[in-house]
Amino acid sequence: DTAVSQTPKYLVTQMGNDKSIKCEQNLGHDTMYWYKQDSKKFLKIMFSYNNKELIINETVPNRFSPKSPDKAHLNLHINSLELGDSAVYFCASSQGWIGAPLHFGNGTRLTVT
Amino acid sequence: GESVGLHLPTLSVQEGDNSIINCAYSNSASDYFIWYKQESGKGPQFIIDIRSNMDKRQGQRVTVLLNKTVKHLSLQIAATQPGDSAVYFCAEKGAGSGNTGKLIFGQGTTLQVKP
């Protein structure tokens, strides 16, 4: 069973569209994250939620809106997609956030054309 | 600002040899460090972590060394195997992140294992 699962794995869309990426974890963790990995493999945090409460909101365009319906799910909605949004988006979870390892999903490769 | 860097973007080793992957960090107040392995098409996978009150920690075939004096972190892999080929990231819990759990990742070192 996949611990942190994201859907879809690949997402190809045109500029201006709105898309969502879903994430679910079955580890019983209370903290979930979204990270963005660029073409040079650099990983940068976007958001984190603890028990459905937003903890981290990095300098991310407000076209990106995370939603956590419960502590096992953290979805990412992106409005008005731009070419620069093309990247691999990783969902992750951890138990607590003070020095706990993150468990990552396998990523969603978003390509905006 | 804070940064986490790795000394070499690519490391090539012979199967069976030991590998050492290095990482330098800038924030002396960081208190938690992690190494991740990322295989092609997959998400980063936790390898080992270390807190700042330690200078060495061992796992199965892996050892992490922390030198706070020079702000240097290294990952040693014993008897490197073809399955170890991947991109390796170090990450630190950033200063001021307090209870936010924000991890700052380095750029990554690609480990290539030659048969």
Instruction: Give CATH superfamily name and number for B4-114.
Output: Immunoglobulins (2.60.40.10)
Which chain B residues contact residue A97 at CB under 8 A?
Answer: 99-101
- Residue-wise pLDDT for B18-67, tens only, equals 999 999 988 888 888 999 999 999 999 999 999 999 999 999 999 999 99
**Residue B1 above 50 pLDDT?**
no
Tell which of A32, A41, A90 to mutate to test the B interface (max B CBs under 10 Å).
A41
Chain A residues touching chain B at CB-CB below 8 Å: 4, 31, 33, 40-45, 48, 55-56, 90, 92, 94, 96-107
How far does A102 lie from chain B, in Å, by closest CA?
7
**Could you tell me the residue range of the domain that residue A83 belongs to?**
4-112
Mean confidence (pLDDT) of chain B: 89
Number of domains in chain A: 1
Facing residue for B44 by CB, picked from A45, A99, A104: A104
Residue-wise burial string across A38-68, b where 16 or more C-beta atoms lie within 10 A, e elsewhere:
eeebebebbbbbbeeeebbeeebeeebebeb
Amino acid B94: pLDDT: 67
CATH code, A108: 2.60.40.10
CA distance linking residue B59 with residue B73, whole number of Å: 15
